[in-house]
Structure 1
Amino acid sequence: MSFAFTEDQQLLADSADRFLADKYGFDARKAILRGDAGWSRDMWRAFAELGWLALAVPEDHGGLGGSTVDLAVLMERFGRHLVVEPFLATVVLGAETVARGGSDAQKAAILPAVAEGGTLLALGVGEPRARFDLHRVATTATRDGGGWRLSGHKAVVLHADAADRLILSARTAGAEDDRDGITLFLVDPKADGVTLRPYPTVDGLRGAEVLLDGVAVSDADVLGGVDAGLPVIEAVVDRALVLLSAEAVGAMAETVRLTADYLRTREQFGRPLSSFQVLQHRMVEMLQAKEFAHALCYRAAGAMDSTDGVERARAAAGIKAESGRAGKLIGQEAIQLHGGMGMTDEMAVGHYFKRMTMIDVQFGNAAHHLRRFATLS
C-alpha cells in the first residue's frame, strides 16, 4: 500500500518535524515532565500560534477544518517526539465531541477558545467496571428540578486535572450495559461534588479518576440529545483510535531508527552489532511491522472522513489492532537489542516502548479490537 501527502500535508509534516526537533528534544521533554503540571503551557501557546490546536476545529468556529489525515500527519510527529501536552485530550477527544454533539451555543462558546489555546477539555467515558465497552456506564444522571444530578466514577480521564471543562458520559435511562440511555454532560471540574484524583501514567502523561457525588448541572450543560450520547462517543473514539495509531507509528519509526543507530555503533568481538546477520533479520522484521502499520494507518485515516457506520468502525478497529501488535513487537525487540541499557531512563528507547504500550491499551487493546473487527459486518 502507498499513500501520498498533499502539498499542504507535506508542509505540515516538515514544519512540525523542524519545530519539534528544535524545541522538543529528549532532554527538553524530560525537563517538562519534571514540572508540576507534567506539560508545558509555553509549548501549548506555541502550538496555538502554529495553528495546530485549530486543525480539528471547523472553519465556522475559528478553526482550520482539517481532515483526519491532516491530524494523523501531526500526531505521527507527536509520536516521534513523545509530546506530552494535552492535544489528545483537548483537540482529538474534547473538541471533536463538542463539534459532533454540541449545540450552536456550546460550539460558539468552546471551539474558538480551544483553537486559540485558552480552553482545555477532558473526555471521561471509561469506568472501572467497563473494561473497553463504551456503552457500559454506571454513572447516573437523575432529574433534579430544571437540571440534573450526576453521581459515579469515571476512570483514567486524560489531563482532567488541567481541564477547564469535563465532558462526561452518564446514564439517564436503562440498565448499566444498555446501548441506549447514555447522555453527555459538560461539567465544571471545580463544581461542588467533583473530586479529582490525578496521577502520572507510566508513559509520562497525566490521568485522573473523576468522582461525582450529586454534581448539579443544568439542561444547558447537556451535550447533544438526552439518551443520544453513545453514537457521538463511538464516532469520536473511532477517530481517536486512528489518531492514536498515527502517534504509535511515529513512535515506532523513531524506535526503529534509534535501534539501528545503536547496532551500528555498538561493537562485539571487534565488529559492529549491525554486521551480524541474525540481528539484521530482526531489524528487518521491525521495519516491516512499522511500514505496514504506517500504510494501514493512513488508509484508515482516509476512511474516517469518507465512510460511516460499520466501515468506519472496521477501519478503526483494524488499525488499532495492528498498531498494538506492531508496537509490541518493535518495542520488545528494541529493548532486547539494546540490552540492559534499553530499560534505563537515560535512553529514549524505553520511553518510546512505554508510550506504545499505553497507546495499545487506550480505548481497547489489540486483542479487543481484533475481536471487534472480526464481529463487525
Structure 2
Amino acid sequence: MDVSFTEEQEMLRASARDFLEKECTEDIIAEVETSRLGYSPDLWKKITGLGWLGLVFPEQYGGSEMSLVDLAVLYEEFGRAAFASPYTSTIILGGLTILEAGSDSQKSDILPKLIEGEMIIAAVLGASDPGLEGTELNPEDITISSTVDGEDYLLNGVKLFVHNAGIADYFLVPARKQSGNKSEDGITLFFVDANTPGLKTTQLTTIAGDNQCEVILSNVKVGPDNIIGKTDTGWAPLTHSLRIAEVMMASQMLGGGERLYNDSEEDFMTRLESGIPDDVKQHNEEYLANLKQDIDACRQITYQAANKLSEGESFDFDGSITGNWRKLTHQNA
C-alpha cells in the first residue's frame, strides 16, 4: 500500500502540529507528568473547541464524520507532541463502542456530551488494556460479575491499572453473568455513573507516573437502561473498539518515534560538524538509516490497518504486526 494522504489530511496534520507545538509545551508536559489528573483540562477544552473530539462521529451528534485514517493522522501528531489525554478511553473505547452498540436514545444523549468535552469515560478493562499496553484482551479477562437483582443488576469485582479512572465521570464496565465463564458469550456492557454507591477508585503509583487506578465494584446496582446494546452481546463491539485503539496507539508511537529520530539526526549532524571519528560516524549513519526504514515500514503498516478498519475489513494479522512494529521502532528511536 502506498502511504499517501489527501489534501484535507495534510491540512489536519499541519494544523494539529502547529497547535500542539504552541500549546503542548515542555512546561505543560512537565505539569501533566506531576499532576494526578494525567492531562491538562485547559488543553482538553481547547481541542474540544477545535472539534477534535468529534472527528469520527456522525454529524447528527455534532461530529465531523471523518475517517479512522484521519484519526490516525491526528494520533500521530499526539505522539509527536507527547500529548497526554483521556482521548482513547473516552472517545474510542467509550464513544465508538456506544456508537456501534448503543440504542438511539443512548447515542443521542451521550455522544454530544463527549464531543463537547462534558464527559470523560474510563473503560474498566484492567492490567492488560489492549492498545494502551500493546496486549490482547481475551474473554477470560472479563472478570467483573453481573447478577440479576429484580429488574436491576449488581456488579462485583476488582480491576487494577484502569486508565483515567480517577478523572472519569462514567465507566464502561464489561461484565459477565457468571464468574469463571471463559466464553465470549454472556458479556454485557454497562455504563456506570462514577458516583454510584459501591464504586471506588484508588490512584496507583506506577513507574511511568501515568494516571492508573484500582477500581472496586461492590454490589454496584445499575438498571437495564445502563446496558449498552443488548445483554450478553458486549464482546463484539468492545473488541472492535479495542482494535481501533490498537491502531491509534501504533500511530501515536509512530509520531513519537519519528520525533525522536528527527532529534537524533539533528544531534548527529551537530556533532558531525564538531568532528567525530570516521568509525563512529559510519556506525551512526547506518543506525539512523535503519531506523528510518523501520519508521517508514511502521507508517505503512499502521495506515494500512487504519484504512482497512475504515473500510470495514478485517485486519487481525496486520494489527499484530502493527503492535510489534510500533513498539520496536519507538524503542530503537
TM-score (norm 2): 0.92
1:324 to 318, 324, 327: 327
Shift of 1:178: 1.4
Cα distance in 1 between the residues matched to 2:200 and 2:179 = 26
Cα distance in 2 between the residues matched to 1:273 and 1:10 = 39
Matched residue type, 1:318: I
Asked if the contact 1:90–1:122 (Cα under 8 Å) also holds between the matched residues in 2, the reply is: yes
Asked if the contact 2:95–2:111 (Cα under 8 Å) also holds between the matched residues in 1, the reply is: yes
Shift of 1:155: 2.8
Cα distance in 2 between the residues matched to 1:272 and 1:3 = 37
Q: State yes or no: 1:196 paired with 2:201.
A: yes
Matched residue type, 2:38: G
Give deviations 1:147-201, integer Å, cap 9, x for gaps.
1000011232211111111001111257432111111101112211111122365
Cα distance in 2 between the residues matched to 1:274 and 1:253 = 25
Cα distance in 2 between the residues matched to 1:298 and 1:170 = 32
Q: State yes or no: 1:168 paired with 2:205.
A: no
Closer, same or farther: CA 265–95 of 1 in aligned 2, 3 Å: same
Range with bigger deviation, 71-80 or 60-69: 60-69
* Residue of structure 2 in register with 1:134 after alignment: 138
Closer, same or farther: CA 96–254 of 1 in aligned 2, 3 Å: same
* Residue of structure 2 in register with 1:59 after alignment: 59
Shift of 1:26: 2.0
Cα distance in 2 between the residues matched to 1:261 and 1:43 = 29
Q: Partner of 2:119: helix, strand, or coil? A: coil
Cα distance in 2 between the residues matched to 1:64 and 1:218 = 32
Gaps of 5+ in 1: 331-377
Counterpart mapping for 1:1-377 below 5 A: 1-126=1-126, 132-136=136-140, 137-173=142-178, 175-199=180-204, 201-266=206-271, 270-271=275-276, 276-308=281-313, 311-330=314-333
Root-mean-square deviation (CA), in Å?
2.3
Asked if the contact 1:303–1:315 (Cα under 8 Å) also holds between the matched residues in 2, the reply is: no
Cα distance in 2 between the residues matched to 1:121 and 1:69 = 23
Asked if the contact 2:258–2:295 (Cα under 8 Å) also holds between the matched residues in 1, the reply is: yes
Closer, same or farther: CA 252–11 of 1 in aligned 2, 3 Å: same
Closer, same or farther: CA 201–81 of 1 in aligned 2, 3 Å: farther
Q: Partner of 1:157: helix, strand, or coil? A: strand
Greater RCO between the two (CA within 8 Å, min separation 6)? 2
Give deviations 1:327-354, integer Å, cap 9, x for gaps.
2333xxxxxxxxxxxxxxxxxxxxxxxx
Shift of 1:326: 2.2
Matched residue type, 1:324: K
Q: Partner of 1:155: helix, strand, or coil? A: strand
Closer, same or farther: CA 77–204 of 1 in aligned 2, 3 Å: farther
Gaps of 5+ in 2: none
- The runs of at least 4 aligned residues of structure 1 exceeding 6 Å deviation read 272-275
TM-score (norm 1): 0.81
